[in-house]
């Protein structure tokens, strides 16, 4: 069973502002932007194959995310500068189990260290909490990825355990 399908469909027309950034749903037409953003990226893994992606591969997995969004299962967001169409980062929202929502994120390598991931993750987490109301909102991060662990912490996530050798961090708000 998916998340609220109406909310996932609403996401396709949603634009989320995040302190100088804009998050919007990625579609198959964004394939070239995904290819360009992930050329030097070894961790933008939304699908079984690792980057770099061919345009046809990017188009196909973005089309699959469109289908998953229509079923209420997942949605893929792109992060853009408020005055640019350059894809800076990507985030995915997916339901792991009823009421249990996982977020994942990556940032274009030449834009890392600028707070893009933390601002985007925080804004998208707020959106998910207000629209879907999950009982658990979490991210999974490699134990060795200190930058990503800091990103999650800056967006209100705290360690809650391990899963498959990765740290599971759950969103907590006072």
pLDDT at 1 > cutoff 50: no
Taking 60 as the threshold, does the pLDDT of residue 47 lie above it?
no
Q: For residue 174, with 0-12 CB atoms within 10 Å meaning exposed, 13-18 middle and 19 or more buried, which class applies?
A: exposed
Neighbouring residues of 133: CB distance < 8 A, sequence distance ≥ 6: none
What does the pLDDT average to over 46-74? 82
pTM of the predicted model as reported, rounded to 2 decimal places: 0.89
Q: Could you give all domains of the chain from N- to C-terminal order, each with its CATH number?
A: 5-117+127-133 (3.40.630.30)
């Amino acid at each position: 069973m998916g998340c609220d399908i109406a909310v996932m469909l609403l996401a396709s027309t949603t634009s989320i502002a995040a302190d100088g950034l804009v998050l919007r749903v990625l579609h198959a037409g964004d394939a070239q932007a995904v290819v360009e953003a992930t050329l030097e990226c070894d961790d933008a893994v939304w699908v079984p194959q690792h980057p770099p992606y061919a345009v046809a591969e990017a188009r196909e997995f973005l089309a699959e995310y469109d289908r998953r969004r229509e079923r209420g299962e997942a949605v893929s967001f792109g992060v853009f500068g408020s005055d640019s169409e350059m894809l800076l980062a990507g985030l995915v929202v997916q339901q792991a189990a009823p009421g249990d929502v996982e977020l994942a994120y990556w940032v274009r390598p030449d834009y890392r260290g600028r707070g893009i991931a933390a601002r985007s993750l925080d804004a998208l987490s707020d959106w998910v909490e207000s629209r879907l109301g999950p009982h658990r909102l979490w991210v999974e991060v490699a134990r060795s990825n200190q930058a990503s662990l800091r990103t999650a912490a800056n967006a209100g996530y705290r360690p809650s355990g391990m899963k498959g050798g990765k740290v599971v961090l759950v969103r907590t708000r006072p």
